[in-house]
Structures are given as C-alpha cells and as structure tokens.
Amino acid sequence: MQAGFVLAIMLCSGDTCDMVQAEPGVAYPTYEMCAAASTSKSAMLNDLAAQYRSERREADIICLRELRRITAIATPYEALSAIELRAEPDANAQAVGSLAPGQRVVASGTVVGTPWLRVVSPSGMTGFVEQSHLRAPAAPVTPLPRAEPVAQPSVPQTSPAPASPASAPTAIPPHAGEFRDCADCPVMLPLPAGVFVMGSNEDPTERPAHRVSIPPTALGKFMVTEAEWDACVAAGGCAYKPPHEADAAGRRAMTNLSQADAAQYVGWLRKVTGKPYRLPSEAEWEYAARAGSATRFGFGDQVGTGRVNCDGCSGSYDPHRPANMDAFPPNAFGLYAMLGGVAEWVEDCWHPTYQGAPNNGAAWATGSCDRRVLRGGSWKSSPSDVTVSARNFYDASVRYTANGMRVALPTR
C-alpha cells in the first residue's frame, strides 16, 4: 500500500490552522486523483466545510499528503521464500535488499492499516515486507540485536583520536576554502550566491513553489556539536547545561535545544567573533540542502540506503539517538547531515504556506513568531519528512530531544 493523498478541510484563524479529514479511511494514490475527487465531490465537501466555517475561521478544501503510522514492535520471523525488501511499504517501491528462504529477521514495526512490516536483518539491513511472506520461527529465538553502524569515511583529523572515553574530543579542522573564527567556533563553509525554486507540490505547507535569490552566505559545515555548545556554556554565553557522555562530544550534534537556546548561542558567537552570526533563514537552509538539485532528497528522488539517518531510511539505525554528525556522506555543497539526524532551527516564524514569503533569501520575521520553523527532519522522522522541501515547526521556547541548530554568516 502506497501512502497517498486525502481530502481535508483546512480551518484557519489568522495564522493558526487545523485539519479535518473529509473522508476517513479514503486515500488517493496521486495528487491529481485527489484533486479530481475534490471536483467531483464538491457539493458534499462544500456542505461539510460549511459546518466548520465561521466568521472567525475560514474553511478550505485541500488535498493533503497522507502520513504513514508505524507501531513499534519486536517480533522474530523467518522468510517463507526468497523475497525482496522494499524501501517503502509498497510492492512497487525500490528494492533495498532481499531475504533468503528461512532467513530470520526481527519485525521492528507494523504499518498501521496495511499488511506491511518493517523488518531488520542480522546484518542491520532495514526494509519493508508483507507479513504473508513471513512466518514465526520454528523454535523460539532471541530478538536479533541491532547491528552497529557501518563505518563511513570520516573527515580527516590533524591530531590523534582520544586515547580513552575520558579524553578531550578532537575538534574537526577546516579544509581548504573553509574557516573557523575561533578555536571553539563551528567550521564554516562558504556557499555561492544563486537563484533556486523553493518549495514543492507535495504538501500544502510547501506551496506555492517560488523563485528565491540567495546572497553569498556561509553555513556551518556541521550542526553545532555538544563540544561547541559546552564552550558557550563555559564562557557564560549559554545557560542550558545538559549532561553528555564523555566520548560523544566532538562528533555528535547538540540536541534538545529550543529556538531560544539557539538564539543564545548565536548571540555568544557574535560577541566572541565580532561578526553577525545568526541562524539560517528557511530559504538559505533549503538552498543549501538542495545544493543545486531539484530532486526530493538533493541526491535523488529515492532515499536509498546509507544516505540519511531517519526511521525507515534503511541501513543501521538506533531509535534512541541520532547518528554522529559525520556518519553519512555530505551533500554536493559539502554540508553534513542536512537531512535527518537532528532537526534544525531556522530564523523564520511559522506560516502554513509560502503565500507572501520573501523572495530575497531573508527570514520571514512576521506571523506566528511564538512558533518557529524546523527543517531537515530528524532520526525519528520517516523518509517523507526528511526531504529537502519538508517543513515543520515547534514552540520557540520549548526544548525537544530531536531539535538542534546550525549557524549562518553573511559573507557579502
């Protein structure tokens, strides 16, 4: 079963919107089919919208992308016959591997309302298969442990790795063309100016697609790390001081940050360096994530295997924490972990669509500013929520374990 589109009533009062599904249990495979159904069923839909519409609340009929819900389980199975694993719970989705007859796997999730299971093989390979192709193992088995992440090429270091978990982490040095404005500052990667099409037709929040001009800007090559955050805390610039594992700092992105925390950090960078560091605008972030591509993930229209740290992105996966920030290859601009891993705060206030959005690359600083935009998704997100155009928001003053930050610096 492929996730499709559903007819919904969007109820908006100012910048605050809610959704009501017009036909519970009904989904259309494509946006075009959903739009056609909206036209053919307009009388019924208009009557339904009228029940919700009021003087203070508009009611519009839209086609909304349906999100899959996966319920976590941990059940051992074995393959009845040779079967391919799919990247999505859909028989036509890309094959990401295969199971031999009798091969044992652990089902880590069931796709609600479908016969599909998300399974993990002993090698750590993750994919989807219909339950009818599996059976309970002949004898009780202990659920298979999750495989350790496959080693990825890491950024070269100019000093040896820590001798023990208690040793101080080694900072990642800048390469040619990159810079760092202080010993504890993030490595910055200058990006060229350019013009690109922002948004997509996949979701109402990503519309309308529009052309945006981006001035020369440098972005953090990585997200702000635990070690960089700790430097801000030690200097008195950041108030939030969570505990860290001793061997994690220096390779893991700082998490559980509110947008207010992120603002403290860039304020400290401005004070230390004398330069106008800030969070990226939403347009700058998407330009950087796309890196010159018009595809869904920047490297193609399928998430593939071993490219993104997310729930359902195949490959090794730890549901309790994000992968290290350099565990996956960088994008075409050389930026790491733009998709998945840890969601990234940007400067913009939340708007439910791009109607009226700036076209000069600046942050959208009006609207519902108690809620701010997050981009990139996280390790907890599904593949559909880690595309280069997917948008989300959160209360600016509230911390959440999957949220972090990356910094920007104008270079013009």
Confidence class of residue 186 from pLDDT cuts 50, 70 and 90?
Answer: very high
Average pLDDT, the chain: 82
Per-residue model confidence (pLDDT) at position 147: 36
Tell me what pLDDT residue 121 has: 67
Query: What contacts 310, CB < 8 A, 6 or more positions away?
Result: 303, 339, 340, 377, 378, 379, 380, 381, 382, 383, 385, 386
CA dist 310 and 317 (Å) reads 8
Predicted confidence band at 128 (pLDDT cuts at 50, 70, 90)?
confident
pLDDT average, residue stretch 46-75: 73
Q: Give DSSP secondary structure letters for 296-330.
A: SSSS-SS--SSS-BSTTSSS---TTSPPPTTSS--
What's the pLDDT at 238?
96
Give me the percent of the chain exceeding a pLDDT of 90: 45
Q: Would the pLDDT of 151 be above 60?
A: no
The residue ranking higher by pLDDT, 248 or 259, is 259
Q: What is the pLDDT of residue 281?
A: 98
pLDDT higher for 224 or 17?
224
* Contact present, 312 and 383 (Cβ < 8 Å): yes
Which CATH architecture best describes the domain 70-135? Roll (2.30)
CATH for the 188-410 domain, from 3.90.1580.10, 3.40.50.300, 3.30.9.10, 3.10.20.90: 3.90.1580.10
HEC readout, 354-407: CCCCCCCCCCCCCCEEEEEEEECCCCCCCHHHCCCCCEEEEECCCCCCCEECCC
pLDDT digits (tens, 9 = 90+) for 258-298: 999 999 999 999 999 999 999 999 999 999 999 998 899 99
CATH 2.30.30.40 positions along the chain are: 70-135
What pLDDT score does 123 carry? 57
User: Percent of the chain, pLDDT > 70?
Assistant: 82
By the 8 A CB rule, do 344 and 373 touch? Answer: no
Residues of the chain with CATH 3.90.1580.10: 188-410
- pLDDT tops 90 at residue 387: yes
